[in-house]
């Protein structure tokens, strides 16, 4: 089986429309807090603010030199040494290639080793069970549950609050890296 090459590159201004198209895909928006159609004007305002916010960082996920998704850090808090993260893989080309796991491992390295933060958090819709399980495999623990927190259609969905501490990462890092063998991730020079 051919090994896929996963890279992360900083989001550029020319990525704006691709990101809007991805966010409007039903398979992506169903797992996001907002699922309404995002207009060009709404997206332009978000994009401008997102890239100017020093508490956020965004990268495009590439699989075999093809743009396939987005990963970001947000609510970066240097004083308390913590942040949140989120990602999505939009392109069906990358499904089943371990892209999510490779990206998760790289984000853990980045947050705990480069930024030297103490905690990495995330929030996942409870209906997105696969991502909840993936985070648990990487050592994230459920720290809370926002009951009926997000409106989806005519109902409400719970949100699972998860986090991993640097000490948890250090304790299981070798095991996680061994499990990821065979998946090649090569962050570009700009991944910082």
Does residue 127 form part of some domain? Answer: no
Does residue 164 form part of some domain? Answer: no
- CA separation for the pair 53, 30 (Å, rounded): 26
pLDDT of residue 189: 36
Does residue 141 form part of some domain? Answer: no
In terms of Cβ atoms closer than 10 Å to its own Cβ (0-12, 13-18, 19+), residue 72 is middle
Does residue 142 form part of some domain? Answer: no
pLDDT of residue 181: 59
Does residue 126 form part of some domain? Answer: no
Does residue 143 form part of some domain? Answer: no
Domain of 10, in residue numbers: 5-117+172-182
Over residues 22-60, the pLDDT tens digits come to 999 999 999 999 999 999 999 999 999 999 999 999 999
Does residue 82 form part of some domain? Answer: yes
Tokens, residue 133: 């399980």
pLDDT of residue 180: 64
Starting at the edge strand that comes first in sequence, how are the strands of the sheet with 66-77 ordered?
141-152, 155-165, 119-125, 82-89, 66-77, 57-63, 5-10, 184-185
Angle between helices 40-52 and 16-23 (to 10 degrees): 120
The stretches in the chain having pLDDT less than 50 are 1, 186-192
Does residue 135 form part of some domain? Answer: no
Task: Quote the number of domains for the chain.
Answer: 1
| CATH number of the domain encompassing residue 50 | 3.40.630.30
pTM to 2 decimal places:
0.91
């Amino acid at each position: 089986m051919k090994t896929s090459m996963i890279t992360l590159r900083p989001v550029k201004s020319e990525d704006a429309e691709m990101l809007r198209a991805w966010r409007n895909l039903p398979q992506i928006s169903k797992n996001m807090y907002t699922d309404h159609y995002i207009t060009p004007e709404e997206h332009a305002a978000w994009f401008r603010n997102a890239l100017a916010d020093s508490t956020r960082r965004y990268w495009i996920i590439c699989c075999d030199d093809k743009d396939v998704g987005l990963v970001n850090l947000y609510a970066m808090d240097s004083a308390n040494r913590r942040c949140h993260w989120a990602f999505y893989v939009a392109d069906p080309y990358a499904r089943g290639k371990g892209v999510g796991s490779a990206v998760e491992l790289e984000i853990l390295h980045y947050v705990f080793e480069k930024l030297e933060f103490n905690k990495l958090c995330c929030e996942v819709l409870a209906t997105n069970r696969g991502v909840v399980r993936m985070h648990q495999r990487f050592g994230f623990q459920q720290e809370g549950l926002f009951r009926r927190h997000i409106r989806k259609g005519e109902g409400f969905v719970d949100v699972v609050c998860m986090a991993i501490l640097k000490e948890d990462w250090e304790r299981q890092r070798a095991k996680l890296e061994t499990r990821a063998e065979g998946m090649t991730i090569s962050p570009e020079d700009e991944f910082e």
